[in-house]
Amino acid sequence: MGVEIDIKPIKEWLPKLNNPLLIAGPCSLETEEQAMDTARQLAKDPRVFVYRGGVWKPRTRPGSFEGIGTVGLEWLKQVKQETGLLVGTEVANAQHTEEALKAGLDVLWIGARSTASPFVVQEIADVLKGTDAVVMVKNPVNPDTQLWMGAIERLSKVGITKLVGIHRGFTPFRETKYRNYPNWQSFIELRRLMPNLPVICDPSHIAGKREYLSEISQKAFDMGMDGLMIESHRDPSCALSDAAQQLTPADLFKLLDKLVIRNEKVDNKQFEDQLEMLRSRIDSLDTELLEILSSRMEVVRQIGQYKKDNNVTALQMSRWTELMNKRVSAGEKMNLNRTFVQILFQLIHEDSVRMQTEIMDAE
């Protein structure tokens, strides 16, 4: 069931926005010259609405560049005054938030590490209470949709209505070509549970490498996201943080030129009729799937009782390994994704074992 909270649409607080929201700028502000030069280049493209610049950088280990600090806020104020761009930065605690508000920044966002701590989010929310701030919330480092929602709800409870979620990927649980695992399902779940929440994508942190930015950005628009936050530096080779994932402003503009912006709806009755017909087929097939699963679980109950009567364990790993290999192989021959089939049958098998152990434990 969805959660309805008071959230203003992006175009209500950005009335001049006539395309998806684009936030761009360097991972970290390093020098006044670097901050201003990058901003001047980005301001040449009207698709850029907000200039981002990291002032405080929460690093995994000490010793790395951890941001220029409060002086960077003054540079952001200069950027806004000279270019007219809105400006924003990440805040990781109450003190950062107080200083950013005092500097008059237009957009604040809470990073993945901070979102993971309800205590930190609440401290930030307490500082923001009574303000008209635009606050964006990145997903936590692990795919916990409830934690992500909780951070947004804490901000809503103190009266923040200009809220945006940022999908920046998750700490990978397996080998992946990306820096952070996209796990698009978490975005879908957040959108289902908070249907009126705008969500933008941070392809830079998902990718980790600039060569993947285009495919991730297009995927974000294909999924119906409301915009992008992309890191852009005047000379990424010299960047003091996340050099591999940043683009020059010129390369960013080329990337934007290639992206296809999808519409959520179209005013075309023929399209709507055809889509409705295909969706009806999906509904019928889903019903068949559920009926088949129900029949399968009835057989599992019978197997569980039979094992109990003969004092046999619920789990036989050799049978499970054989079954998984056969199902994955059969799925691939039907053009099904290997990982999808593995996850599907893992879930089915786990519930089958659960059911059999309950039968064995019953008096």
Using pLDDT thresholds of 50, 70 and 90, give the confidence band for residue 63: low
User: Comparing 3 with 171, which gets the higher pLDDT?
Assistant: 171
How far apart CA 174 and CA 12 sit, in angstroms, is 41
Most confident of 89-93, 269-273, 310-314, 347-351: 89-93
Q: Is the pLDDT of residue 83 over 80?
A: yes
Q: Identify whether the C-beta of residue 172 lies closer than 8 Å to the C-beta of residue 138.
A: no
104-134: burial string, b at 16+ Cβ within 10 Å, e else: ebbbbbbbbebbbbeebbbbbbebbeeeebb
User: Quick one: CA torsion of 234, 240, 245, 248, rounded to 10 degrees?
Assistant: 0
Q: What is the CATH number of domain 10-258?
A: 3.20.20.70
Render pLDDT for 286-345 as a digit per residue (tens, 0 to 9). 999 999 999 999 999 999 999 999 998 888 889 889 999 999 999 999 999 998 999 999
Portion of the chain with pLDDT greater than 70, in percent: 97
According to CATH, the topology of domain 269-361 is: Chorismate Mutase Domain, subunit A (1.20.59)
Long-range CB pairs of 316-324 (<8 Å, 24+ gap) are 320/349, 323/349, 324/349
The domains of the chain are located at 10-258, 269-361
User: For 188-209, what is the mean pLDDT?
Assistant: 95
What tokens were used for 1? Answer: 């069931």
Q: Is the pLDDT of residue 1 over 70?
A: no
Supply the pLDDT for residue 176. Answer: 84
Please name the residues in contact with 226: beta carbons below 8 A apart, sequence gap of 6 or more.
10, 20, 21, 164, 198, 199, 200
How far apart CA 32 and CA 231 sit, in angstroms, is 17
How far apart CA 318 and CA 314 sit, in angstroms, is 12
Q: Identify whether the C-beta of residue 217 lies closer than 8 Å to the C-beta of residue 25.
A: no
Count of CB atoms situated within 10 Å of the CB of 100: 25
Q: Return phi, psi of residue 188, to 5°.
A: -60, -40
How far apart CA 5 and CA 132 sit, in angstroms, is 16
